Amino acid sequence: MAPKTQEQLIDELIKDYKGPESFWGETGIFAQLKKKIIERTLDAEMDNHLGYTKHDPKGHNSGNSRNGKGKKTIVVDSEPVELEPPRDRNSTFEPQLIPKRQKYFQGFDDKILAMYARGMSVRDIQACLLDMYKVDVSEGLISQATEGIMEEVKAWQNRPLDSVYPILFLDSIVVKSREEGKVCNRSVYLALGVNMEGQKELLGIWIAQSEGAKFWLGVITELKNRGVKDIFIACVDGLKGFPEAIESVFPNTQIQLCIVHMIRNSVKYVSWQNRKQVCEDLKTIYTSATEQQAEAALDAFGKKWDLKYPTISQMWRNNWERVIPFFDYPQDIRKVIYTTNAIESLNRSLRKVIKTKGAFPNDAAILKIFYLALANIAKKWTMPIRTWKAALSQFAIKFAGRFEL
């Protein structure tokens, strides 16, 4: 007998069609079809596991055989499906389609992770799944789904990195965490690289009690151990000892202090009535066309404000060698490297995710949500940095001989 065509099979399926309920209902054609397809697939997996089909004489004295059916309820596309998966006598059968102890069809955990990555609490996720899928999910199952990501996080954190990153942004964000019953601050360190193609790439996440140059030294050393041989420009804030920590590992790296951080530190003690004018005068320094013009603007700033705020011009002079590197580049490239805006934008996105969190229970919980949230944010990084080809040409001239590492 010739096998039935696809059209004939469909005709046979819908021959008893009596309206939408008979197709989409809990006992309708579609529900039965899902059940049959899953069970037939599990039977095929059992055939593969045993090495022979049902009733095949090869099974005699083979050492293992079928042992009836079990009972299991799983959720497929929000609908519960009663299954009768096959069992073997030696209990060595490990189904691939629906693994043991899995209550939801593949993809359900991904929905939980997606909600978790957007900062939803366990209770919010429970309520959302109940509302959307009419499925009451336990806290344990949600925790199990999110715990499963930790192995992925470890592999990602230890993956090999490119040998050269033209630009590296380094910053940290402070969150609340519980430690021995007390709520304390934890600093989450982030390293955001720009690779040779101009694409942003998060290189790692680290957690410590507070931000410090000593810990940053460990982060930079880890990046080197994972394969990074050269960084052209590192953009950092004004943390004391931070530039020296980078230079001790990558001595040829140019350190660019974040101008935005410099401005914030400058106006920290300026009165409100003077703050606007001070900021406008500081702008004449970092928007100068050349380093020489910038230095003249700094002298003019000092003459105007040193009697009232002497520490401002002194701070800029003390850090001048790490303020001026961006003057070597055209305007388009300056916008990329004179501020840590790229990573601060990342931090703003992260704060939106964690704003509903009071305090994390532990470091693992911080790591999980940051990893998932960052993976979600990185999906938008589809294009290289604007004017990257022009930037790369400038780097090729300034850092000649370092592209071939």
**Mean pLDDT of residues grouped by 10 in the chain (405 residues)?**
55 61 58 72 83 81 85 72 86 82 65 68 71 63 67 89 92 82 85 91 87 84 95 83 87 88 88 94 92 95 94 93 86 72 75 75 83 84 83 84 70
- pLDDT at residue number 70: 87
Q: What sign results for the dihedral spanned by CA atoms 129, 133, 137, 141?
A: negative
Asked whether the beta carbons of 67 and 89 are under 8 A apart, the reply is: yes
- pLDDT at residue number 5: 57
Alpha helix positions (H), 134-212: 139-147, 150-157
Enumerate the β-bridge partners of residue 82: 73
- pLDDT at residue number 2: 54
- pLDDT at residue number 320: 93
- pLDDT at residue number 120: 67
CA 253 to chain centre: 26
Compute the distance between CA of residue 375 and CA of residue 50 in angstroms, rounded to an integer.
40
Tokens of 309: 């705020």
- pLDDT at residue number 30: 61
Q: Classify residue 346 as exposed, middle or buried by CB count within 10 Å of its CB (0-12, 13-18, 19+).
A: buried
Query: CA torsion angle for 99, 105, 109, 111 (degrees, to 10)?
Result: 170
- pLDDT at residue number 141: 63
Q: Using the structure block, give the residue that is written with the tokens 């950092």.
A: 236
- pLDDT at residue number 21: 59
Tokens of 372: 């998932």
Identity of residue 355: K
CA angle (305 as vertex; 299, 306 as ends), nearest 5 = 75
